[in-house]
Amino acid sequence: MPSCPECDAAVSVGTDAVKGEVVACPDCGAELEVRETSPLTLALAPEAQEDWGE
Ligand SMILES: [Zn+2]
* pLDDT tens digits, one per residue of 35-52: 999 889 999 998 766 777
Spell out a b/e string for 17-43, using b for 16 or more CB atoms within 10 Å of the CB, else e: eeeeeebebeeeebebebeeeeeeebe
- pLDDT at position 35, please? 94
CA–CA distance, 7 with 18 (Å, rounded to integer)? 22
Domains of the chain by residue range = 1-11+19-47
Three-state DSSP class for 44? strand
Amino acid 21: pLDDT: 94
The Å distance, Cα 54 to ligand 1 centre, comes to 31
24 Cα to the center of ligand 1, angstroms: 8
Distance from the alpha carbon of residue 10 to the mean position of ligand 1, in angstroms: 8
- pLDDT for residue 53: 78
Q: What integer pLDDT is reported at residue 48 of this predicted model?
A: 60
Centroid of ligand 1 to alpha carbon of 28 (angstroms): 4
The fold of 1-11+19-47 is Rubrerythrin, domain 2 (2.20.28)
As a whole number of angstroms, the distance between CA 8 and CA 10 comes to 6
Digit-coded pLDDT (tens) for 11-34: 988 888 999 999 999 999 999 999
